[in-house]
Amino acid sequence: MSEVIELLSYPFAYRALIAGSLISVCASVLGVILVLKHYSLIGHGLSEIGFASLSLSSALSVQPMYIAAPSVITASFVIMYVSRKYRTSGDTAIAIASSAALALGIVISSVSGTASNMSSYLFGSVLAVSEADLVVAVILSVIVIASFILLYNRLFLITYSEDYARSLGINTAMYQLIVSILTALVVVAGMRITGTLLISGVIILPAVSAKIVARGFRSLVIISGIVSFVAFILGLIMSFVINIPAGAVVILSNVAILILMKIFAGAKS
């Protein structure tokens, strides 16, 4: 424990702790809607699109976020539009987009010879979290939490009964686009810490765990946020102690919590 406390005194460690905790909570809150709306794969799809855009930025020697952010946000629009316009399953649209993006990213990094530069984005790195990333995480968390508080009733309606929400005059397409944009921003911000390959787990796993014990939408959101926060803290501390990538341990912590909740729920029943 003394080693962990000493490590957390370093700037890179507290930046990773604060930024990662905020991003994890934001991801889990949005993940509740994505899981209930059967858009569970959107984080995975957008992360692979992020990988393609990062490969392109590396090949062009451009600041990664300048290409990744607009690319992932645009992709979230396209996925939502295709799934609504052509009544295609959301997961199907995501699978098509993510497969194409992953293949494109591999081709770009191979042709440009920049594959070795992509490892920190693929697997995440706490050392890569800068002051700018911390500022982005704080701003993003404020936006996501404020959006949930201000739009709670509408988000609840479009999540559980889109037809009923539409009958009340609510622009369901607009609110779904808001969720997809926020998810895209979380994916881009989270790629620094958890990596493009693992960010989808940070979005989905806490919500799945929370569904086991939650008894309503509000409790589902709160429990999902708590699970995500605890899993990130455990994962970060274990990564410092064992000296392995934080993103992988965070996901394994989420999986462990999911299993424990399943066992707990089974024991109660």
Q: What is the per-residue pLDDT for 84? A: 66
Per-residue DSSP letter, 216: S
Q: What is the per-residue pLDDT for 255? A: 94
Task: Determine, yes or no, domain membership for 37.
Answer: yes
Task: Determine, yes or no, domain membership for 269.
Answer: no
Question: Does 43 score more than 90 pLDDT?
Answer: no
Do residues 206 and 236 lie in contact, with contact meaning Cβ atoms separated by under 8 Å? no
Q: Which of 169, 41, 57 is nearest to 105 (CA)?
A: 57
By CB atoms closer than 10 A (0-12, 13-18, 19+), residue 11 is exposed
**Residue 10: left if φ>0, alpha if ψ -120 to 50, beta else—which one?**
beta
State how far the Cα of 252 lies from the Cα of 54, in Å rounded to an integer. 25
Number of domains in the chain: 1
pTM of the predicted structure, to 2 decimals: 0.85
State how far the Cα of 40 lies from the Cα of 34, in Å rounded to an integer. 5
List pLDDT tens digits, range 81-124.
Answer: 776 666 555 566 677 777 888 788 888 878 877 666 666 677 67
Could you tell me the CATH number of the domain that includes residue 148?
1.10.3470.10
Structural domain for 259, as ranges: 2-264
First and final C-alpha spacing in the chain: 37
Task: Determine, yes or no, domain membership for 36.
Answer: yes
231 — phi, psi (to 5°)? -65, -40
